[in-house]
């Protein structure tokens, strides 16, 4: 059953709880579709008065912050064992190549990696455990984690919700199929922009060593 039909079939309070729990467990280091669930719930809120975008954003933010904090604690106490287990269970997501790349980002960017990592799929899952395993200051982590969770969850909810509202007003005379197609294209545009930003960041990191001055022998 598609995520949208699944969420439509359950009470609003349970929808909020599912959004928070899925995002929370994703932030612990479990590869769940947190962003897909958040986007789908926000779209449903734009079409159904029973769902509140405010509460979706609140639960999503809480799930992101709390999940990352537990991930930080787990990474601090047993990071190597956690990453070894994740590599065995999900080699495509958490192989040595992916983990090494994430570690390099954290070493270079510190707290900024926690904040901006919320917008990148791999780093969103690894931010808490990696920060803990690398013994990042908890104060810095908490501030970056909270701000990143608020901006990511609140911004995504608001953007997708108002996209759905505007699309519905413009396409009132068309069928629901037309509305669905417009919304899908709009959401796809958001994901494409995010992917291009992530690729640009990766390219900048790869070029950075090449731009360093080599010391004279």
* Per-domain boundaries in the chain: 3-208
- The answer, as to whether pTM is greater than 0.75, is no
pLDDT band at residue 121 under the 50/70/90 scheme: confident
Rounded Cα gap, residues 139 and 77, in angstroms: 17
What share of the chain in percent tops pLDDT 70? 66
pLDDT score of 114: 84
The per-residue pLDDT for range 138-197, each reduced to its tens digit, is 898 999 999 999 999 999 999 888 887 765 555 455 445 554 555 565 566 556 655 655
Provide the phi-psi class of 29: left if phi over 0, else alpha when psi is between -120 and 50, else beta.
Answer: left
Dist. CA 89–CA 112, nearest whole Å = 28
The burial of 216, by beta-carbon neighbours within 10 Å (0-12 exposed, 13-18 middle, 19 or more buried), is given as exposed
**In the chain, what are the helix, strand and coil shares in percent, each to the nearest 5?**
85, 0, 15
Q: Find, among 89, 4, 79, the residue nearest to 48 by Cα.
A: 4
Q: How many other C-beta atoms are found inside a 10 Å radius of the C-beta of residue 66?
A: 18
Q: Give 11's contacts (C-beta < 8 A, 6+ positions apart).
A: none
Which of residues 78 and 153 earns the better pLDDT score? Answer: 153
Residue 212 has pLDDT above 70, yes or no: no
Which pLDDT belongs to residue 170? 56
- Reply yes or no on whether the pLDDT at 35 is more than 90: no
| 23, 60 Cβ separation under 8 angstroms | yes
């Amino acid at each position: 059953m598609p995520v949208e039909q699944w969420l439509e079939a359950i009470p609003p309070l349970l929808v909020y709880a599912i959004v928070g729990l899925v995002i929370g467990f994703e932030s612990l280091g479990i590869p769940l579709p947190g962003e897909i669930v958040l986007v789908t719930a926000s779209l449903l809120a734009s079409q159904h008065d029973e769902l509140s975008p405010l509460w979706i954003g609140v639960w999503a933010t809480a799930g992101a912050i709390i999940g990352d904090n537990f991930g930080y604690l787990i990474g601090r106490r047993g990071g190597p064992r956690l990453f070894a287990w994740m590599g065995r269970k999900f080699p495509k997501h958490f192989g040595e190549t992916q983990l090494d790349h994430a570690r390099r980002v954290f070493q270079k960017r510190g707290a900024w990696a926690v904040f901006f990592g919320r917008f990148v799929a791999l780093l969103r899952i690894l931010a808490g455990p990696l920060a803990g395993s690398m013994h990042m200051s908890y104060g810095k982590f908490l501030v970056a984690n909270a701000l990143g969770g608020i901006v990511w969850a609140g911004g995504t909810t608001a953007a997708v919700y108002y996209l759905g509202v505007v699309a519905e007003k413009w396409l009132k005379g068309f069928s629901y199929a037309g509305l669905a197609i417009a919304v899908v294209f709009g959401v796809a545009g958001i994901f494409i922009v995010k992917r291009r930003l992530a690729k640009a960041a990766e390219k900048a990191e790869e070029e950075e060593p090449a731009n360093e001055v080599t010391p004279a022998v």
